[in-house]
Structure 1
Amino acid sequence: MVDYHLQEAFHKNGLDLTKEQMVVLKKLYEEDGLNQNELASLTFRDKSSLARLLAKMESKKYIVREQNADDKRVNDIYITKTGKLLFEKTRPIIKMVIDIMEDGVSVVEKDMMIAILQKIQYNLAEKTTPITKIV
């Protein structure tokens, strides 16, 4: 639901950007020059879907991929000036969507929700409970 509303807000504000592209731009805005493997890990994407996403972003001139000087098998990803400007335009839009989402939600409720989501995230990421087929 959040993805839908964020995408809709980008569209209504004339930004040709998906939430997935925005996440990549955010990571590169914070730390430019990440390689594709690092970016895949940081954005929780598999390498092939990230490669397709990056190709689309490169065609829009949001990023450039450059072969790593030390390892020719690795591509380093850099945000372009266009990508930086676009990401900066998303900031007030994201804030607006968050303000709408949080309307009427108390600080206590937000803290409780964050604590619950952190527990769920921990359970999914850290616990090694095997998932078995249910017959």
Structure 2
Amino acid sequence: MKKDNTNIDFENSIGPWLGKTGKLVDYFFQESFKSKNLDLTKEQMIVLKKLHDQDGLNQNELAFLTLRNKSSLTRLLTKMEKKNYIFRKQSKEDKRIKNVYLTEFGKEIFEKTKPVIHNLIATMEQNISLEEKQQIIKIFKKIQTNFCIKAEHI
């Protein structure tokens, strides 16, 4: 078997920097929630945000909006039900569908996350101009589009 001698310059490619940044963001989310005594993960906060925006989404819609597969979302929702953040209710139109709603406690928890999120965004965007921020977002959108196009051809 012939050996491929192609060098891969990871440090000068986007992937590792994107990955490291994502891990740092995740870490600071967790630490910030913990410091405010919020028993919450970033993933749970995302679900709370989606339901805050549109309460009563069904599980398929929620899976799509949170970029999770159905079984992983089901596990996440089960944990959130145990914490009394959400409840699921069978759809009146279609018994196979369950809609997801925030509990009053879930609404309170989401409200408590707002200053934490605001602080995290301020930290993340510190020393970054509006133009740089817009450029970063534009580049991330291009990367996402590249992967979506690639996924269509797999």
The answer to whether the superposition gives a TM-score over 0.5 is yes
- RMSD across aligned C-alpha pairs, in angstroms? 1.3
Counterpart CA distance in 1 for 2:151 and 2:121 is 33
Give the corresponding residue for 2:134.
111
Alignment of 1:80 onto 2:80: no
Shift of 1:114: 1.0
What are structure 2's unaligned runs of at least 5 residues?
1-23
Give the corresponding residue for 1:5.
28
What are structure 1's unaligned runs of at least 5 residues?
none
Say which of 60, 71, 74 aligns to 2:83: 60
Give the corresponding residue for 1:125.
148
Computing the radius of gyration over CA atoms, which structure comes out larger, 1 or 2?
A: 2
Q: Is the partner of 1:64 in helix, strand or coil?
A: strand
Bigger relative contact order, structure 1 or 2, given CA contacts below 8 A and separation 6+? 1
Counterpart CA distance in 2 for 1:80 and 1:126 is 38
Report how many aligned residue pairs link the two structures.
131
Counterpart CA distance in 2 for 1:102 and 1:34 is 31
Counterpart CA distance in 1 for 2:62 and 2:149 is 21
Counterpart AA for 2:58 = N
Say which of 32, 38, 45 aligns to 1:15: 38
Give the corresponding residue for 1:40.
63
Runs of 4+ in 1 over 4 A off after TM superposition: none
Provide, for residues 27-84 of structure 1, a one-character-per-residue CA deviation record: whole Å limited to 9, x for no partner.
1001011110010001000000000000000010000011111111111100011001
User: Normalization by structure 1: what TM-score?
Assistant: 0.92
Identity of aligned residues (%): 56
Q: Is the partner of 2:68 in helix, strand or coil?
A: coil
The verdict on how the C-alpha distance between 1:2 and 1:71 changes in structure 2, with shifts beyond 3 A counting, is same
Shift of 1:130: 3.6
Counterpart AA for 2:26 = D
User: Normalization by structure 2: what TM-score?
Assistant: 0.81
Counterpart AA for 1:73 = R
Give the corresponding residue for 2:120.
97
Q: Is the partner of 1:78 in helix, strand or coil?
A: strand
